[in-house]
Amino acid sequence: MLTMTKKTTSTPHHHGNLREALINAGLELLETGGAQALTLRKCAALAGVSHAAPANHFNGLVSLKVAIMARGHLLFAETMRQASSQAESCPRTQLIAICEGYIRFARTHKTLFNLMFQFDCIDLEGVDDASKNEKRKAGEESYGILKKACLPFEHNGGNSLNTETMVWSLVHGYAMLFANEGASKRAIPSFSEILPNLPLK
């Protein structure tokens, strides 16, 4: 008898889907224990496997981190999409809402946000292609939301790249510098107060 339509994407061998489980474990450790709690061995333990099991799915800790960064960008994009959908359609209102989503994500997921936008970029030598591709794709998705919201505007000579770059720099710097509880000593202006008046196209 032909066992037709047998699952081609069958759950692998022992665990089921360890790669996914390790990413989720990493996210959880990051949220609860901070950056230094993100450990290959802790992820493995949280997923219920031995300490060396992750090696079958990630070429070392860095590859897992890159996969987590990718996952973070998906959550990031979702936060901005949600903010956009709850705001009115006026271009400036939309842009502000998305930026506030940006900032809220940074505030809510400090450690993940920091990992995602690490400045001294992770050396991608030796990182899994899967993780790298996921990160690139998810990064483009999240950036695309901001980019789209900049399209109605014009800034410095009609080059839309100028607007994108200005807005992205502004919101990213604001999120980095002020989306921390520690900075609450000073009365920081809201983002809408520092966003320059952008003329519509």
Partner DNA sequence: AAATAAAATTGACAGTGTCAATATAGAGAC
Partner DNA sequence: GTCTCTATATTGACACTGTCAATTTTATTT
Q: Enumerate binding residues for DNA (CB under 7 A).
A: 6-7, 10-15, 18, 39-42, 44, 49-53, 55-57, 60-62
92's contact among its own copies, DNA, none, with CB below 5 to 8 A by partner kind, is: none
Q: What is the DSSP string of 173-198?
A: HHHHHHSSGGGGGS-PPPHHHHS--P
Instruction: Give least dist CB 39 to DNA, A.
Output: 4
Residue 76, judged by CB atoms within 10 A of its CB (0-12, 13-18, 19+), counts as buried
For residue 32, CA distances in Å to 110, 178, 182 come to 11, 21, 18
Q: Which of residues 123-182 bind its own copies (CB under 8 A)?
A: 123, 155-156, 159, 161-162, 165-166, 168-174, 176-180, 182
Q: How far apart are CA 47 and CA 41, in angstroms?
A: 10
Which of 110, 132, 147, 148 binds its own copies (CB under 8 A)? It is: 110
Which of 4, 187, 199, 200 binds its own copies (CB under 8 A)? It is: 187
9's contact among DNA, its own copies, none, with CB below 5 to 8 A by partner kind, is: none
Instruction: Give least dist CB 117 to its own copies, A.
Output: 7
User: Cβ closer to its own copies: 58 or 102?
Assistant: 102
110's contact among its own copies, DNA, none, with CB below 5 to 8 A by partner kind, is: its own copies
CA angle 130, 21, 110 (to 5 degrees): 85
User: Cβ closer to DNA: 66 or 167?
Assistant: 66
For residue 173, CA distances in Å to 13, 55, 67, 115, 188 come to 45, 36, 24, 15, 13
CA angle 35, 40, 41 (to 5 degrees): 110
Determine, following the binding rule CB under 8 A, whether residue 200 of this chain makes contact with its own copies: no
User: Cβ closer to DNA: 126 or 199?
Assistant: 126
Determine, following the binding rule CB under 8 A, whether residue 111 of this chain makes contact with its own copies: yes
Which residues, at least 6 apart from 137, have a Cβ–Cβ distance to it below 8 Å? Answer: 70
